[in-house]
């Protein structure tokens, strides 16, 4: 008698879809994966990263540098003064090199000492007290614009603290730690990711340098990550005015990846398109409400002859403009990848909006606690991390490799084939003309000029 469970049927769905594919939620799982855990006022944040090839130099300082960048920016609140984020490498690295096993990182919350009773995993004891800044009183009035109400309804919580502790953007510190590992890996292959703020409230950066490295150094020196020094000052003033009024501001930032080879991502399946993956990753950052690649929304405003980037060949396939933001057909095309995103204003307000107590139904001003007046500069650093992670996934999907050396050999072999498509024949191997390396800089001027046509409502 045959087995009741036929192996073929057990492993395949009705339409011949493999079980493992379904178990992955219908998404193709990348070999480079990361997860985070931890609450805003819990003991620590955790980042678990899998799929990093062996032999990558990785130091705590590589991670701490990006953690510190996330904490800067004019407009941050009191919490950032308390926390000085530092990563502890718990696994996956030995004597300064990755060993191919999962990398676990921990960032301790310094504020934990004040919150250990409120956030204790154990049942509260009669002797429990609460440190300064912490409150054991349940949070029952949701903030409009935050996860509070939707989260309380979804999970059936009476205390909104159970929602806000995880929905808080403090979690993004763990993403930045994972992004720093991706930055180290991609750096081995000449890929660099930077960011700058192009708008806060109604103030827009206009005088932005041309080359990404100049943009990066100007942005790093600015209190609001803007590469336009004049606009920087106006942005600081705007944040200050908002803070004085008990209000908050959002804005727009741009992330640029240079040195990305053509060929990452694919049009072959919807969830493998590089533009879609980047948009999902950047949109997943709390408070990000819009993501565009290249000209993004603006590309709808011009005729095709002015939008698409003409191709010419000179030691490689080149473009005069980069309106596509380095991606065509869901695949990187060798030009810098340009991702822009809009962040909404912070929902926690000193002058809270009207809300309702979820226990009594009584109207009440929304819950208020220590908050940022503007976190657009920090959000840009978090977006760098998400872009780095997606590029790292797409890069390893394409080039594989269990060691950095193996990945390097795979990349080099591929680059040998990406030149002119010379027809194969006697004495004429295919792909004879090697494509020049991926480009670090391209004329992004026009892209920016277009943005200014539209951007400033003032």
Ligand X SMILES: Cc1cc2nc3c(=O)[nH]c(=O)nc-3n(C[C@H](O)[C@H](O)[C@H](O)COP(=O)(O)O)c2cc1C
Q: Would you tell me which residues interact with ligand X (CB under 6 A)?
A: 77, 145-147, 167-169, 172, 285-287, 346-348, 371-372, 375, 378-379, 382
C-beta of 301 vs 350, nearer to ligand X: 350
Give the residue with the Cβ less far from ligand X, 366 or 411: 366
Residue (of 102, 106, 32, 93) closest to 59 by Cα position: 93
Q: How far is the CB of 107 from ligand X (least distance, A)?
A: 14
CA nearest 191: which of 407, 418, 457?
Answer: 407
User: Smallest gap, in angstroms, from Cβ of residue 120 to ligand X?
Assistant: 23
Decide whether 169 or 327 has the Cβ nearer to ligand X. 169
Q: Distance between CA 274 and CA 261 in Å, rounded?
A: 13
**Min separation Cβ 82 and ligand X, Å:** 12
Tell me the angle at which helices 376-399 and 404-415 cross, rounded to the nearest 10 degrees. Answer: 80
CB of 65 to ligand X, least distance (A): 17
- Min CB(430)–ligand X separation in Å: 47
Reported residue count of the chain is: 458
Closest to ligand X by CB, 330 vs 377, is: 377
Report the interhelical angle of 376-399 vs 274-283 (nearest 10°). 150
Minimal CA–CA distance to 384: which of 240, 172, 86, 203?
172
Find the shortest distance in angstroms from Cβ 437 to ligand X.
34
Q: How far is the CB of 260 from ligand X (least distance, A)?
A: 24
Name the residue nearer to ligand X (CB basis): 262 or 375. Answer: 375
Q: Which CB, 144 or 429, lies closer to ligand X?
A: 144
Least separation in angstroms between CB 345 and ligand X: 8
Residue with smaller CB distance to ligand X, 28 or 370 = 370
Of 365 and 400, nearer to ligand X (C-beta) is 365
Smallest distance from ligand X to CB 66, Å: 13
- Between 118 and 373, whose beta carbon lies closer to ligand X? 373
Q: Tell me how far CA of residue 153 lies from CA of 119, 147, 148, in angstroms.
A: 21, 10, 9
> SS3 sequence, the chain?
CCCCCCHHHHHECCCCCEHHHHHCCCCCCCCCEEEEECCCCCCEEEEEEECCCECCECCHHHHHHHHHHHHCCCCCCCHHHHCCCCEEEEECEECCEECCCCEEEEEECCCHHHHCCCCCCCCCCCCCCCCCCCCCCCCCCCCCCCCHHHHHHHHCCCCCHHHHHHHCHHHHHHHHHHHHHHHHHHHCCCCEEEEEEEEECCEECCCCCCCHHHHHHHHHCCCCCCCCHHHHHHHHHHHHHHHHCCCCCCEEEEEEEECCCCCCCCCCCHHHCHHHHHHHHHHCCCCEEEEEECCHHHHHHCCHHHHCCCEEECCCEEECCCCCCCEECCEECCCCEEEEEEECCCCCCCCCCEEECCCCCCEEECCCCCCCCCCHHHHHHHHHHHHHHHHHHHHHHHHCCCEHHHHHHHHHHHHCCCCCCCCCECCECCCCCCCCCCCCCCCCHHHHHHHHHHHCCC
C-beta closer to ligand X: residue 109 or 348 = 348
Minimum distance between the CB of residue 282 and ligand X, rounded to whole angstroms?
11
Q: State which residue, 348 or 393, has the beta carbon closest to ligand X.
A: 348
Q: Which structure tokens are listed for 252?
A: 């727009």
Taking the least distance from each CB to ligand X, the nearer of 139 and 324 is 139
Residue 377: CB minimum distance to ligand X, A: 9
In angstroms, give the least distance from the CB of 205 to ligand X: 19
């Amino acid at each position: 008698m045959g087995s009741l469970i036929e192996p073929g049927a057990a492993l395949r769905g009705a339409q011949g879809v493999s079980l493992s594919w379904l178990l992955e939620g219908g998404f193709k799982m990348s070999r480079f994966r990361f997860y985070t855990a931890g609450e805003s006022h819990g003991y620590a944040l955790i980042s678990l990263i899998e799929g990093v090839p062996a032999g990558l130099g990785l130091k705590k300082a590589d991670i701490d540098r990006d953690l510190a960048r996330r904490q800067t920016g004019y407009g941050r609140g009191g919490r950032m003064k308390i926390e000085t984020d530092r990563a502890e490498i718990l696994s996956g690295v030995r004597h300064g090199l990755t060993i191919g096993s999962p990398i676990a990182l921990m960032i301790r919350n310094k504020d934990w000492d004040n919150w250990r009773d409120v956030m204790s995993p154990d049942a509260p004891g009669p002797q429990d007290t609460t440190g300064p800044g912490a409150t054991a009183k349940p949070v029952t009035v949701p903030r409009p614009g935050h996860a509070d109400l939707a989260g309380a309804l979804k999970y059936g919580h009476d205390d909104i603290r159970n929602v806000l502790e995880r929905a808080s953007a403090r979690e993004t510190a763990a993403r930045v730690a994972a992004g720093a590992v991706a930055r180290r890996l991609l750096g081995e292959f000449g890929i660099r990711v930077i960011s700058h703020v192009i708008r806060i409230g109604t103030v827009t950066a206009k005088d932005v340098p041309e080359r990404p490295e100049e943009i990066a150094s100007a942005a790093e020196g600015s209190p609001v990550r803007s590469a336009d020094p004049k606009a920087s000052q106006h942005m600081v003033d705007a944040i200050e005015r908002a803070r004085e009024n008990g209000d908050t501001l959002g804005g727009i930032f741009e992330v640029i990846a240079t040195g990305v080879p053509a060929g990452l991502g694919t049009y072959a399946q919807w969830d493998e398109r590089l533009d879609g993956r980047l948009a999902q990753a950047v949109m997943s950052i709390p408070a990000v409400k819009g993501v565009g690649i290249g000209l993004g929304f603006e590309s709808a405003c011009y005729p095709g002859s002015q939008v698409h980037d003409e191709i010419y060949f000179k030691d490689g396939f080149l473009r005069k403009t980069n309106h596509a933001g380095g991606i065509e057909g869901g695949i990187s095309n060798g030009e810098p990848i340009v991702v822009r995103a809009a962040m909404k204003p912070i929902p926690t307000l000193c002058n809270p909006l009207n809300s309702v107590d979820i226990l009594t139904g009584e109207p009440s001003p929304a819950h208020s606690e220590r908050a940022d007046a503007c976190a657009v500069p920090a959000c840009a650093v978090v977006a760098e991390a998400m872009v780095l992670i997606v590029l790292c996934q797409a890069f390893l999907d394409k080039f594989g490799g269990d060691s950095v050396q193996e990945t390097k050999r795979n990349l080099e072999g591929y680059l040998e084939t990406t030149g002119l498509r010379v027809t194969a024949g006697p004495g004429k191997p295919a792909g004879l003309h090697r494509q020049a390396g991926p480009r670090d800089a391209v004329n992004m001027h026009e892209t920016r000029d277009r943005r200014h046509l539209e951007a400033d409502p003032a």
